[in-house]
Amino acid sequence: MTEQLVDRFGRVHRDLRISLTDRCSLRCTYCMPADGVPWLARSTMLSTEEIVHVARVGVDLGITEIRLTGGEPLLRVDIVDVVRRLTALSGPAGSPEVSLTTNALRLPGLASDLVDAGLSRVNISLDTLERAKFLQLTRRDKLVETLAGIAAADAAGLHPVKINAVAMRGVNDDEVVALTRFAVERGYQMRFIEQMPLDAGHTWDRAEMVTQAEILARLRAVFRLEEVPGRGAAPAELWTVDGGPATVGVIASVTAPFCGACDRLRLTADGQLRSCLFSQTETNVRDLLRGSGQPPAEVGIGPGQALRIGATAPERPVPVADVDLALAGAYRRCLAGKKAGHDIDDPAFLQPDRPMSAIGG
């Protein structure tokens, strides 16, 4: 199974984002309401065996990077085992690089174990350096713990430590310079993100969004920036800060979309493949794994094993090879429906029903 994952526009897909849970320990205002959102039923969530199975087929098809997301992926109790098993996979290009996006709250107790399991690096969300503002933004008084998690990632060698901030008008746009200086002084990589229409309340307003141009203008008032060439499929456009080596990046999904070079697919925590954050369709792989679509009594996937399907095992278990072929077909069906771009500027654009916390970043 070595044919690459290529969509109808010729884009080769090598990056798989896997959401491990939709739960989160914070309640960021741009992500979910104060009371949270209805959580996915636990019976619908993929088991570790199922996640590894879907990822293994993806790696066989040319996936070389796996990013673990949430919600908050470190809330998954077996996160270290998930990382260990994913880094042990091997495909035509070798083993995938496995990274993780997190709010860092659990990193002090997990960073070393994650490194031992093979985790390569982390992206950490930090929208403000002010404690009162952090509480306002996340509805949790956890800035001190977040900073401790960032330091733990650095000490454990999860380099480069990337810091992500969603720029919000009248909220934290006055901290663009301070956040960049914080990262540069510590050897971290700062990344600012244009706010996207992925909030649970569907209150996103483009007129209120802080644009890449505004972010760069604030930075250029203080730093000397030079564009870094060779962006490739990376979502962030980079600039060196005061001659480097430090860089600052902007992910301008709205005003400067990079869809033409997109190489990402997403797997939700409940087993749906998505070709785009803004996709209106999903490809169900959970039902391929479970047959009847009911929670499995037992799932065993590995060399020479068969997958038991449904609440009770069928008379004739489905051979793993057949499930692999079905999953490969699901990857290709998902890609077949991928659009050229996300169409945010199209008057007919519809925000996806799922919020970011239920899609995975």
Radius of gyration of the chain (CA): 20
Among 135-139, 211-215, 275-279, 348-352, the least confident range: 348-352
Residue 256 — very low, low, confident or very high, per pLDDT cuts 50/70/90?
Answer: confident
Strand partners, 247: 240
Sign of the alpha-carbon dihedral angle for 104, 257, 96, 355:
positive
Q: Is the pLDDT of residue 309 over 80?
A: no
Exposure string for 264-296, b = 16+ CB within 10 A, e = fewer? bbbbbbbbbbbbbbbbeebbebbebbbbeeebb
* Distance, CA of 64 to CA of 14 (rounded, Å): 5
pLDDT band at 208 (very low <50, low <70, confident <90, very high): confident
Q: What is the pLDDT of residues 261-299, one digit of tens each?
A: 899 999 999 999 999 877 778 899 999 999 843 333 323
- Mean predicted lDDT score pLDDT of the chain: 85
pLDDT in tens, 120-136: 999 999 999 999 999 99
Reduced 3-state DSSP string for 157-216: CCCCCEEEEEEECCCCHHHHHHHHHHHHHHCCEEEEEECCCCCCCCCCCHHHECCHHHHH
DSSP state of 162: E
Higher pLDDT, 235 or 221: 221
Question: What pLDDT score was predicted for residue 198?
Answer: 55
Question: Tokens at residue 278, please?
Answer: 């803004």
Alpha-carbon distance of 32 to 139, in angstroms, equals 11
| C-beta neighbour count of 8 within 10 angstroms | 11
Residue 140 has pLDDT above 50, yes or no: yes
* Predicted local confidence at residue 276, as pLDDT: 86
Count of helices and strands (H, E) across the chain:
10, 14
Instruction: Write down the residue that tokens 């999860």 correspond to.
Output: 158
Q: What is the chain's length?
A: 361
Distance of CA 225 to the CA centre of its chain: 27
Q: What is the pLDDT of residues 316-329, one digit of tens each?
A: 456 677 899 999 99
Q: Which of 136-150, 205-219, 288-302 has the lowest mean pLDDT?
A: 288-302
Express as a percent the part of the chain with pLDDT over 70: 83
Distance CA 157, CA 272 (A): 33
The answer to whether residues 120 and 80 touch, using CB atoms and an 8 Å cutoff, is no
> pLDDT value at position 40?
84
Report the pLDDT value the prediction gives residue 211, as an integer from 0 to 100: 93
